[in-house]
Structure 1
Amino acid sequence: MKEVAGPPTPEQIEAGRVLFSGECEFFFGSQKIDQLPPAGRPEVAFAGRSNVGKSSLINALTNRKALARASSEPGRTKQLNFFNLADRITLVDMPGYGFAKAAKTVKEDWQNTMFAYLRGRTTLARVILLLDARVELKTSDKDAMELLDRAAVVFQIVLTKCDQIKPKALEAKIAEVEAIALKHAAAYPRIVCTSSQTGLGIEDLRAEIARFAEPADPTGEG
């Protein structure tokens, strides 16, 4: 049975605050696996079904209003977007999956491209897998977890839009997702509940991500 990790310490919370107070800028977009930027800083990637609130969460984490842009048409974004955070870590915004209108060939192409990235990216430290707390798990969510297991990439489940459901329903959702995580070899056994609107869980998730960042340059010269 997996050991459940505890919440971040005050020191880890502060480390997350410091990291995310730094500059964060888009520096590369890749639509094909052979067009990735050179591997360098540690990477943390964000994955999730279309309309799960991925762009809103990334913007909340980085204190930006439009760093990551949400498309008005689900599934329209089909590239990996790379962001340099404080010259210490790279955040990767992955294309949303599970969009109903996409052709079968488009879905298969997404899966093949994402699997190649997940399996072959040596600097990828963790995948943050976002699930909407308000809705039941979809087949596409389960497929994504299986893909992450096969790629042997550690992923952490983060629930979004947690301010939009009642406390008892949220408790039940957390228990459900924890039970699912225990069945996946690659799942990190701690769930984080978030809300981009209220700030719930934002400092917690910053602390989780900061664990993988390169040390800050004490000279401040980068």
Structure 2
Amino acid sequence: MEEVPPVPSPQPEEPSEESLAFGRWLFAQDCQFIMAAADLNQLPLADLPEIAFAGRSNVGKSSLVNALTGRSTLARASNTPGRTQQLIFFDLGTQLRLVDLPGYGYAKAGKSAIRQWTRLTRAFLKGRASLMRVCLLVDARHGIKDSDREVMKELDDAAVSYQIILTKADKTKASEQAALLEATAKEARGHVAAHPEIMLTSAQENWGIDRLRASLSSFAQGAPRNDGPTT
């Protein structure tokens, strides 16, 4: 059974057992690396719903993708910020596509390379019809930074739905977590494209992973639909 962080308040809406089960099933399916795109002309066809993972360099995007899929090396984690310089695409059970975006805020690379992948990422976020949601990862130890706010404004302007996912929550004090969630939710309310639910996660301790799987799996091509009672 998945462990939960000590202070889960404010509590997101509890997912149903059906959505939790479907999320576990979906993220246990074969997850295949498709490509690493360095140019918009290299992108795969927009023929599957897509979930993108964005965040500051070294925020834990690769670790979270690995935790969601139950694989330790699917997305390579690195202690060096800015290692991912391309859009990394994974096919999940031919029903959902996961996209690991380059980190922003800091990178050990030349300025021209930084500009190139920054333009690529922003163009992708603004023009991808199959992009259902962006998971905007924020380090729970530091909260929302100015570079996050810049991305949030761009997503607002482009009308791209995004949800703030607080990562590395196991490295924060339990007594601080409720205040962190409240402060993050308060700031998110000022952004038109931000999802109101804030999720507290730890890839290392498996906090919030089942809940996030359930949420993201609702966008999958074969997700169960609740169309109301039949007569």
TM-score by length of 2: 0.87
Match of 1:71 in 2: 78
Q: Among residues 134, 158, 164, which one is paired with 1:151 in the alignment?
A: 158
User: Secondary structure in 2 aligned to 1:17?
Assistant: helix
| SS across alignment from 2:89 | strand
Q: Matched residues, percent identical?
A: 49
- 1:11-34 per-residue CA deviation (whole Å, 9 max, x = no partner) reads 111110111111111011101122
1:15-55 deviation line (CA, Å, top 9, x unaligned): 10111111111011101122111111100000011111111
Query: 105, 119, 127: which is aligned to 1:120?
Result: 127
- Counterpart of 1:135? 142
Q: Counterparts of 2:151 and 2:198 in 1: how far apart (Å)? A: 17
Candidates 186, 207, 221, aligned match of 2:214:
207
Q: Which residue of 2 aligns with 1:172?
A: 179
What CA distance in whole angstroms lies between the structure 1 residues aligned with 2:14 and 2:155? Answer: 24
Which residue does 1:219 correspond to in 2?
none
**Count of residues in correspondence between the two structures:** 214
Unaligned runs of 5+ residues in structure 1 are 217-222
* Separation in 1, partners of 2:173, 2:142: 13
Distance 1:188 1:151 in 2: 15
> Which of 168, 189, 205 is equivalent to 1:161?
168
Residue aligned with 1:168, SS: helix
Deviation at 1:193, TM superposition (A): 0.7
2:39 equivalent in structure 1: 32
> What is the aligned-residue RMSD (CA, Å)?
1.9
Instruction: Work out the CA distance in 2 between the residues paired with 1:195 and 1:136.
Output: 15
TM-score, normalisation: structure 1? 0.90
Q: What SS class does the counterpart of residue 26 from structure 2 fall into? A: helix
Note closer, same or farther for the CA distance 1:106–1:185 as it changes in structure 2 (3 Å cut): farther
User: Shift in Å at residue 105 of structure 1?
Assistant: 4.8
Alpha-carbon distance between aligned partners in 1 of 2:12 and 2:44, rounded to the nearest angstrom: 33
Secondary structure of 2:195's aligned partner: strand
Q: Structure 1 residues 139, 108: CA separation in 2 closer, same or farther (over 3 Å shift)? A: farther
Query: 1:129-165: per-residue Cα shift (whole Å, max 9, x none)?
Result: 0000011422111111111112211001000011111
Where do residues 94-109 of structure 1 align in structure 2 (5 Å cutoff)? Answer: 94-99=101-106, 101=108, 105-109=112-116
- Alignment of 1:185 onto 2:192: yes
